[in-house]
A and B are shown apart, each in its own frame.
Chain A
């Protein structure tokens, strides 16, 4: 346990890895403003929520910042035009996850004018209520910029019963990624003000901005911005040791507070809410300046890139376009990763567009990713146990999943695996452990879905059965009543009599 400069006592978390961070490679120069490409592919539903309905027609001219899709609720993040131009239509375009999949995108043909709509700030936000601020953030298209793209409004709104602390995550713990560090260096005021906006939205009385220990320049920049902007003195800058996956939401909370998010709960249950620093800056842009989210900082880096650097890129720009502005690939570049090397996704092609969650494009060469020959069996060396930040037994999880023992895997808390990759990184048998866990989670979800489906079907079957039984019983009852009527001798006789007389009458 150590004490940070802000006087907050830090707690740390178990496991994790110390890594070479390689961040300076892309930090030597300030971010370049990426060229606006001729064609942009703006994903509809690039967030985790539902897909919004289209608000533009093919052929229509749109301006930068104009909403292209509607937002029916907090989970639907609207997409905005990232520049002015003509909507060509909706196309299926390659997406990053799952590998080889595609997603509906609005194809926008830039007219080169980059004309914007009138900015629509939220005037006087310092005295507005949380409802107004959250609605404005939702209209501005905010989603988590740290990578998960969780709808910001959905995270903020809710009857959480006393959120006291907003945590801003500036601990960019994966190697190579530097866009958040860059942002904190060049726009510290936007982050401090964004922090105040988000804090107001959830009525949090305290903001902790977590940065990694070696980020000295960043700390100084944020500190001086804080002194200028934060008159209420609610913001604190906290330096935390650089241990991967320190920037994971759960590990960050544990480091700062010593508390653990309950496995079936949310940070809000602890009175906390966590946002990325870039999300705070975007909140400032949306609320104070009136600009929806149409661009972000992206790190384009790695040994496979000739001139690594950060770009301020419009959402919808194809990766290939950024890479060519970073000097292009080296001849040995064989792997393209979205995100960091520990938990990023390998991309099949660079046609995939930048989304709100794209923080880093990493190109690696063959010898940096080589995982030699077939894997060996697990030798139970427990290196994975020692580095797992979630307190799992990765080797037993792997064995359970590989043997199709899903229930055992669930019992070993498979769903608490955060897929940080620490275990796979240290495994001497080179087992792709995280792939196995994903596979296991998928199978378990399917199985549970199957079970739910089966339960539903069973309930439907039983309902139908009881309906049929009831109908049958009624029929029986009716028949019974009729038989009884017939059986009652007098009545039966008179009925017969009557029938005979009726027949006679007809004859007559």
Chain B
């Protein structure tokens, strides 16, 4: 009898890229549901828009680069990019922000660098950085979370606001929008208020920010599930969160009036999302396990630094992009010791 020839191993593969990306999406579902509960329909539109544009640009670029369109669209990586981007958008951000964000993410950050597996920077964060630099005002219009809101816009109102830029009659941005906890903190500190005074604002919730803290908790639970399923490794999230705690605790203990508490740092803004879902992006991250620890710690340090000294309320995106740049260098100096070799 004749048999086919093939290299070892002779077993069905343990996993696939598409499978891993799908699990990432599943892990985000609870947090998306929480987002919907606290901030209304906006997140649904943002996801549909960003994913739609991501797939559109992905298909166009694959066609232009003469790559197999169906195979690469089926790897779900563009979908993940779109969803992560959408999760960073204010609920009522106009539709063209998603278009521009995805243009930078998919076309520039991903395909001009060579497509899946070759991008130097995290595409979702490149998209986010581009729009927050270009449209800072549009990106700061956050809605008040449900318990504080005079009434979250319904489905049709949300659609009109996002697609046509019209707010429901009788409502103004001032009435429905509210500063995010990080924004409030920042302006409060600039106004020489103490953190304790600032935190009297109900937007701060119990430990991070009303609504925000629960969305972040769901990110963490989804992320832990991904670690358990071995879709991501524990190195980056643990390094990021531990570094935030280690750095912010002494500052907070020394000056509780001017420095936010560690839970405040962790549960507001995009830190948990970043720690489990964005800084863990394999392609633009480190190739060694010790490198991942340094990468995570670096993201934490830079985020805290930007939050404290920088021009933006939340520095996670820039922190990640900066660490993306450092990753190849970190890899060089964190190579594991090969069996039978001395250090």
* A333 vs B5: C-alpha distance when bound (angstroms): 13
* A395 vs B336: C-alpha distance when bound (angstroms): 13
Binds B, one of A77-85, A384-392, A497-505: A384-392
Number of interface residues of A (CB under 8 A): 71
A393 with B288, Cβ < 8 A, contacts A341-B11, A346-B10 known? yes
Answer yes or no: B169 CB below 8 A from chain A CBs: no
Cβ–Cβ contact A263 & B340, under 8 A: yes
Cβ–Cβ contact A428 & B17, under 8 A: yes
A425: nearest chain-B partner, CB-CB: B9
A390 with B10, Cβ < 8 A, contacts A377-B116, A428-B17 known? no
Q: List residues 177-232 of chain A with CB under 8 A from any CB of chain B.
A: none
Contacts of A362 in B (CB 8 A): 10
Contacts of B6 in A (CB 8 A): 335, 346, 369, 371
Q: Mark A347-371, 1 if CB is under 8 A from B, else 0.
A: 1111000000000001010011111
The secondary-structure label for the interface of chain A is loop
Cβ–Cβ contact A343 & B17, under 8 A: no
Within 8 Å by CB of B287, from A345, A350, A393, A426, lies A393
A341: nearest chain-B partner, CB-CB: B10
Q: List residues 30-67 of chain A with CB under 8 A from any CB of chain B.
A: none
Answer yes or no: B115 CB below 8 A from chain A CBs: yes
B134 to chain A, nearest CB (A): 29
How large, as a class, is the contact surface on chain B? 35 or more
A418 to chain B, nearest CB (A): 8
Answer yes or no: B118 CB below 8 A from chain A CBs: yes
Q: Mark B12-49, 1 if CB is under 8 A from A, else 0.
A: 11111101100000000000000000000000000000
* A344 vs B10: C-alpha distance when bound (angstroms): 8
Contacts of A343 in B (CB 8 A): 8-9
B43 to chain A, nearest CB (A): 27
Answer yes or no: B138 CB below 8 A from chain A CBs: no
Cβ–Cβ contact A425 & B282, under 8 A: no
Cβ–Cβ contact B285 & A428, under 8 A: no
Answer yes or no: A403 CB below 8 A from chain B CBs: no
Within 8 Å by CB of B3, from A261, A347, A434, A435, lies A347
Cβ–Cβ contact A349 & B1, under 8 A: yes
Answer yes or no: B311 CB below 8 A from chain A CBs: no
Answer yes or no: A487 CB below 8 A from chain B CBs: no
* A401 vs B267: C-alpha distance when bound (angstroms): 44
B341: nearest chain-A partner, CB-CB: A263
A341 with B9, Cβ < 8 A, contacts A334-B3, A348-B3, A380-B282 known? yes
B72 to chain A, nearest CB (A): 8
Answer yes or no: B117 CB below 8 A from chain A CBs: yes
Sample of 19 A–B contacts (CB below 8 Å): A265-B340, A329-B1, A335-B4, A336-B1, A342-B10, A344-B10, A376-B72, A377-B115, A379-B117, A380-B117, A382-B233, A392-B338, A416-B341, A424-B7, A427-B13, A428-B20, A429-B117, A434-B8, A438-B7
